[in-house]
Amino acid sequence: MEAVNKVIGEVQAGLTTGGSIDLIWINGENFRTLKQGNLLFGPFTEPLPSQAFYSPDNLLVTSDFGLPTEGYSSPYTGSLYVMAKDGDRVSATPQDFDQLLTWAAANPGRFTYVAPPEFDGSRFLLTVLYGVTGGFEQYAGVEFDEALWEQNSPQVVDYLLALKPHLWRGGQTYAPTQNRLLELFANGEIWMMPAFTPNIAEGIATGRFPDNTEAFALPGVSLNDPSFTAIPSNASNPAAAMVLADLLSGPEGQLEKFKPEVWGSPPLIERNLLPTDLQQQFDTVEASYGLPLQELTAATVPVVNAEYTLRLEKLWEEKVIV
């Protein structure tokens, strides 16, 4: 967000060329803000060699929070927002939010989430919206549906308030960052948490998390949440930015980020379009990943129009945290 604000400030101040930022790691509301404000360079992805490994009809990389990217951003990292549990302490795996509430009530203080509007906490709110109001499909249009929001949002508040007293520290405080949440899980203060797959994979690979840590998705609710790189309209070196964007979205960049000891980000690249030797290298990393990646991916759904997330953050601050 800081980089986005810097671009906006520079352009508003008249610096339409020679800006201080050439490439931004971006997704969601930040991409929407710059794209709709005509503050992005492009479209720039078509000539990138890496695009040969992405299908033009793959909505995961051609749409960002429901907004078509139209060549103004390049694939960067994959990430699934799922759940992690300590398998030694949690036997049954919740399959929906009703079961999660039942488990939390039976195990007070052993579950929590990051406080919104931190990125990770806002993702939890979005999964609740999907999970307690009938699924994500109704929100999947490009535009925000005001009437649908007014109809369904009270159910989100009711659920979060019902969950609150069963959370870590009775819901009186929340983990301020994802790093703090990971610490609570690592030291056994909580036994279950929502988190991104790179964090879970790294925690398993490094031995930071309990030995029997397991990741699971809430089917049709957990998120497939990719991110992108984009070039500001006032970038000083757009050609160099394109080279870097291509490296990050290409096979070498995707493979390196996939390694749990490096980053653990699931690749966005379509492995069936890769040469056989590269496919084998990705398969080797996946075999050591520590998570059932294909199973998790199949159970996740996309992130929708960013306005729902903004409304959820406001709702949480007004109705839940008070």
DSSP string for 187-214: TTS-SEEEEEHHHHHHHHHTT-S-TTEE
The reported pLDDT for the residue numbered 60 is: 84
The reported pLDDT for the residue numbered 213 is: 96
Residues lower than pLDDT 50 in the chain: none
The reported pLDDT for the residue numbered 161 is: 98
The reported pLDDT for the residue numbered 288 is: 86
- How many residues belong to the chain? 322
CA-closest candidate to residue 81, choices 223, 201, 258, 261: 223
The domain limits of the chain are: 2-78+225-296, 80-224+300-320
SS3 content of the chain, % helix, strand, coil (to 5): 50, 15, 40
Look up residue 51 and give its two tokens.
Answer: 């695009």
Q: Do domains 2-78+225-296 and 80-224+300-320 have the same CATH topology?
A: yes
Give the dihedral sign, CA 107/109/112/117. Answer: positive
Whole-number Å distance between alpha carbons of 39 and 234: 8
Look up the pTM and report it.
Answer: 0.89
Whole-number Å distance between alpha carbons of 18 and 12: 14
What's the CATH architecture for 80-224+300-320? 3-Layer(aba) Sandwich (3.40)
Question: What dotted CATH number matches 2-78+225-296?
Answer: 3.40.190.10
CA-closest candidate to residue 3, choices 303, 177, 197, 241: 241
Look up residue 231 and give its two tokens.
Answer: 């070039």
Token pair 């960067």: residue: 76
Q: Are strands 223-224 and 301-302 parallel, antiparallel or unpaired?
A: parallel
Asked if the bond preceding 94 is cis, omega within 30° of 0, the reply is no
What are the tens digits of pLDDT across the range 27-37? 878 898 999 89
Whole-number Å distance between alpha carbons of 160 and 139: 20
CA-closest candidate to residue 229, choices 214, 205, 246: 246
Q: Assign 3-class secondary structure to 1-63.
A: CHHHHHHHHHHHCCCCCCECCCCEEECCHHHHHHHHCCCECCCCCCCCHHHHHCCCCCHHHHE
Contact assessment for residue 79 and residue 265, using Cβ atoms and an 8 Å cutoff = yes
The reported pLDDT for the residue numbered 75 is: 96
The reported pLDDT for the residue numbered 207 is: 92
The reported pLDDT for the residue numbered 143 is: 87
Contact assessment for residue 286 and residue 126, using Cβ atoms and an 8 Å cutoff = no
Look up residue 2 and give its two tokens.
Answer: 């800081």
CA dihedral 208, 213, 217, 223 (to 10 degrees): 0
What are the tens digits of pLDDT across the range 160-201? 999 999 999 999 999 999 999 999 999 999 999 999 999 999
CA-closest candidate to residue 248, choices 19, 20, 43, 73: 73
Whole-number Å distance between alpha carbons of 191 and 94: 13
The reported pLDDT for the residue numbered 4 is: 87
Q: How many C-alpha atoms does 85 have within 13 Å on its Cβ side?
A: 16
The reported pLDDT for the residue numbered 51 is: 96
